[in-house]
Structure 1
Amino acid sequence: MATTIEVQKLHTLTGHRDCIYTLEPSGENHVVFSAGGDGMVAAWNLNDPENGELIARVTSSVYALSYVPFRNLLLIGQNNEGLQVIDLQNKAILKSVSLPKVAIFDIKYSALLNKVYVAQGNGGVCILAADTFELQTITRSTDQSARSLALNSHTQELAVGYSDNSIRIFDAATMQLKHELKNHTNSVFTVAYSPEGDLLITGGRDAHLRVWEVQQGYKERGYTIAHMYTINHIAYSPDGRHFATCSMDKSIKIWDARTFKLLKVIDKVRNASHGTSVNKLFWTAHHNQLVSCSDDRTISVWDIKLS
């Protein structure tokens, strides 16, 4: 039976003064964090979305945030300035972590392994102890940017997408290189494991969405030309049955997670969507709402109804 999807724009959130590059979930389904070129980190309550709350202000642009559950901490990747650890309860800086002075493109936290992974513009992936935030080691496989990270909790693997067109799969505990995937023809901006951990989906500047079979040694299942321009991000729905992609072509697309059939296009003409590049998505279990952010300095909240 075919799925039909109805999309309604619920809210347009404003307040950022520059491009918004990243969104990050909190410990609650109805709260999402945002950050961008203005160095401001805001929290938005989807039950009262018009009023954003300033959480922190840093001196440089921010491409990456990561929430640490149980401890209620937010990690802020300040480009060229390292990592700020924010205690959300007190809105205080718990720690500033010095890292190589380059851009920070992604941050992932593993409670199981007690590690934080930081993808950097010099090709390095910094590994920090998650309890102390002390730098343990830096793994560098190329001098081109490490752009995106994904953790597979089923296999304890870390997938890293790079600007040398490659995806490298590491043992997340030891950082031993296990696989190198070279089918993309340009920078890999986004990598995402399926909730079951059996598939890796990747996208980037070549606008191709590629699907890899994890249990088959990351054999490529297939690909589709998903957008006109760069794919910036991939986000799975809370139930894992769908995923969304967003692009520099200003559109958001919703896909069937098993058949990879395109189900819906959200764009400016049809849905009064963003007017410039859509940079990041967050698909929350809060009423199945999809949140998107853009170079146009706005955040959109979408009601996604499946039938």
Structure 2
Amino acid sequence: QEDPLPLAFYVHDAEIISSLGKTLESQAVETEKVLDIIYQPQAIFRVRAVTRCTSSLEGHSEAAIFVISVAFSPTGKYLASGSGDTTVRFWDLSTETPHFTCQGHRHWVLSISWSPDGKKLASGCKNGQILLWDPGTGKQVGRPLAGHSKWITGLSWEPLHANPECRYVASSSKDGSVRVWDTTVGRCERILTGHTQSVTCLRWGGDGLLYSASQDRTIKVWRAHDGVLCRTLQGHGHWVNTMALSTDYALRTGAFEPAEASVNAQDLQGSLQELKDRAQRRYDLVRGQGPERLVSGSDDFTLFLWFPAEDKKPLARMTGHQALINQVLFSPDSRIVASASFDKSIKLWDGRTGKYLASLRGHVAAVYQIAWSADSRLLVSGSSDSTLKVWDVKAQKLATDLPGHADEVYAVD
């Protein structure tokens, strides 16, 4: 049972502290008069424990097969999901209800990504089309972004500190190309070609670089503003499935600080320049003195740690997994790398040196996805075994088990 939501009551703009009678004593009120008593919730959202299921959000079609992607908005106020039923849904986390159901795609929604100001969501589907949505209205923004000949594998927005208007989004596809789109006019600005097979994932870094990983076993580093190829990172012996930047969390949350959020939902306040400066400060803090680091995971069971802006040689080769790697993520403070694998384990590595730290075992089937808590203390994993598990990273052990799903868990955030 959830704790009841505390309410405050007011009569004639005066808060009722002890009793209605006491409050009215100080006011000139006629005996026969009807009084309006106003109430207001004391919290914008409820604090929910991570140790149990606090709500089930139902709505995606039963025939959809599965919900493929979920993502919290940068403020943490809304949740978006993309599904095999071809819809994108926005969920209100305060009321635990579907906010909007967005229809426009004609095939499975494979990838979704929030703009770092939280004002737009991009979604890509299996027929190669990208749509933009307004989370405030649930309506489609502008025209569809069409050009990819095969399905969308990744979406990444230009960082807030680079452009507070959040105008540009990059997409990667099974067709082997990366495209940069101007969302204001709905036009493809440039096409980055060079990969010889499917591009599996994409990151728009904080220093003006785009990173794309591919089934051609390479990672390519591009200059975002003109599409020039800077270098190709080689070393993996099989498909590169996943990659992460040490600055991912700061880039994704932009000017917001979810770890320090109060009961008041954060909304964008201040000029674009102020937001840009705030996002720049948060980025610089995580980035530190050196360039941003990149970690990549592959079907060859290995991970590589790179300084992609400076060197095409890897900083470290990280071995230990016994099967292909599904996902890799830096902790928000960038100190630890976590990797999830088909070998049923999650492994922890030093985010600066690539040194092996620990294995987290407990799942009885492949681990598909992982997500960090904002304070870098907890890690959650979703698995083919239909469970979620929450891990205490410092103690390097299972904190709690979250059963409840009836089938494989494909996406966590």
Q: TM-score, normalised by structure 2?
A: 0.61
User: Which structure dedicates a bigger proportion of its chain to helix?
Assistant: 2
Paired position in structure 2 for 1:4: none
Q: In structure 2, do the counterparts of structure 1 residues 185 and 288 end up closer, same or farther at CA, with 3 Å as the change threshold? A: same
Paired position in structure 2 for 1:306: 394
Candidates 162, 174, 186, aligned match of 2:238: 186
- Cα distance in 2 for residues equivalent to 1:33 and 1:305: 27
Q: Secondary structure at the match of 1:89?
A: coil
User: Which structure dedicates a bigger proportion of its chain to strand?
Assistant: 1
Conservation of the 8 A alpha-carbon contact between 1:11 and 1:302: no
Superposition pairs of residues 232-251 of structure 1, within 5 angstroms: 232-251=326-345
Determine if the alignment matches structure 1 residue 140 to structure 2 residue 193.
yes
Displacement of 1:124:
0.7
Q: In structure 2, do the counterparts of structure 1 residues 11 and 251 end up closer, same or farther at CA, with 3 Å as the change threshold? A: farther
Paired position in structure 1 for 2:7: none
Letter in 1 for 2:149: K
Letter in 2 for 1:248: F
Paired position in structure 2 for 1:108: 156
Displacement of 1:9:
5.7
Letter in 1 for 2:362: D
- Cα distance in 2 for residues equivalent to 1:294 and 1:134: 38
Q: In structure 2, do the counterparts of structure 1 residues 61 and 304 end up closer, same or farther at CA, with 3 Å as the change threshold? A: farther
Paired position in structure 1 for 2:71: 24
Letter in 1 for 2:394: L
Letter in 2 for 1:132: V
- Cα distance in 2 for residues equivalent to 1:248 and 1:40: 29
Displacement of 1:182:
1.7
Displacement of 1:198:
3.3
- Larger Cα-atom Rg: 2
Determine if the alignment matches structure 1 residue 223 to structure 2 residue 317.
yes
Displacement of 1:62:
2.6
Letter in 2 for 1:170: W
Q: In structure 2, do the counterparts of structure 1 residues 287 and 265 end up closer, same or farther at CA, with 3 Å as the change threshold? A: closer
Q: In structure 2, do the counterparts of structure 1 residues 238 and 71 end up closer, same or farther at CA, with 3 Å as the change threshold? A: closer
Conservation of the 8 A alpha-carbon contact between 2:332 and 2:372: yes
Paired position in structure 1 for 2:112: 65
Determine if the alignment matches structure 1 residue 261 to structure 2 residue 307.
no
Q: Secondary structure at the match of 2:179?
A: strand
The structure whose RCO (Cα within 8 Å, separation 6+) is larger is: 1
- Cα distance in 1 for residues equivalent to 2:244 and 2:218: 14
Displacement of 1:41:
3.5
Cα offsets for 1:170-229 (capped at 9, x unmatched): 111111011111211111111222122432111121121101134542321221224222
Gaps in structure 2 of 5+ consecutive residues: 1-49, 248-286, 396-413
Paired position in structure 2 for 1:3: none
Q: In structure 2, do the counterparts of structure 1 residues 34 and 220 end up closer, same or farther at CA, with 3 Å as the change threshold? A: same
Superposition pairs of residues 280-299 of structure 1, within 5 angstroms: 280-285=369-374, 290-293=379-382
Candidates 203, 220, 224, aligned match of 1:172: 224
Q: In structure 2, do the counterparts of structure 1 residues 69 and 142 end up closer, same or farther at CA, with 3 Å as the change threshold? A: closer
- Cα distance in 2 for residues equivalent to 1:206 and 1:46: 39
Conservation of the 8 A alpha-carbon contact between 2:318 and 2:356: no
* Greater shift in the superposed pair: 252-261 or 103-112: 252-261
Candidates 86, 109, 123, aligned match of 1:39: 86
Conservation of the 8 A alpha-carbon contact between 1:29 and 1:285: no
Q: In structure 2, do the counterparts of structure 1 residues 222 and 152 end up closer, same or farther at CA, with 3 Å as the change threshold? A: same
Letter in 2 for 1:200: L
Q: Secondary structure at the match of 1:249?
A: coil
Paired position in structure 1 for 2:172: 119
Letter in 2 for 1:134: R
- Cα distance in 1 for residues equivalent to 2:375 and 2:101: 21
Q: In structure 2, do the counterparts of structure 1 residues 33 and 289 end up closer, same or farther at CA, with 3 Å as the change threshold? A: farther
Q: In structure 2, do the counterparts of structure 1 residues 33 and 228 end up closer, same or farther at CA, with 3 Å as the change threshold? A: farther
Paired position in structure 2 for 1:56: 102
* Greater shift in the superposed pair: 24-33 or 139-148: 24-33
| Percent identical residues | 24
- Cα distance in 2 for residues equivalent to 1:29 and 1:299: 23
Letter in 2 for 1:26: S
Conservation of the 8 A alpha-carbon contact between 1:64 and 1:107: yes
- Cα RMSD of the aligned pairs, angstroms, is 3.1
Determine if the alignment matches structure 1 residue 159 to structure 2 residue 253.
no
- Cα distance in 2 for residues equivalent to 1:266 and 1:47: 34
Paired position in structure 2 for 1:150: 203
Conservation of the 8 A alpha-carbon contact between 1:231 and 1:247: yes
* Greater shift in the superposed pair: 214-223 or 134-143: 214-223
Conservation of the 8 A alpha-carbon contact between 2:236 and 2:300: yes
Q: In structure 2, do the counterparts of structure 1 residues 94 and 46 end up closer, same or farther at CA, with 3 Å as the change threshold? A: closer
Displacement of 1:84:
1.1
Conservation of the 8 A alpha-carbon contact between 1:127 and 1:137: yes
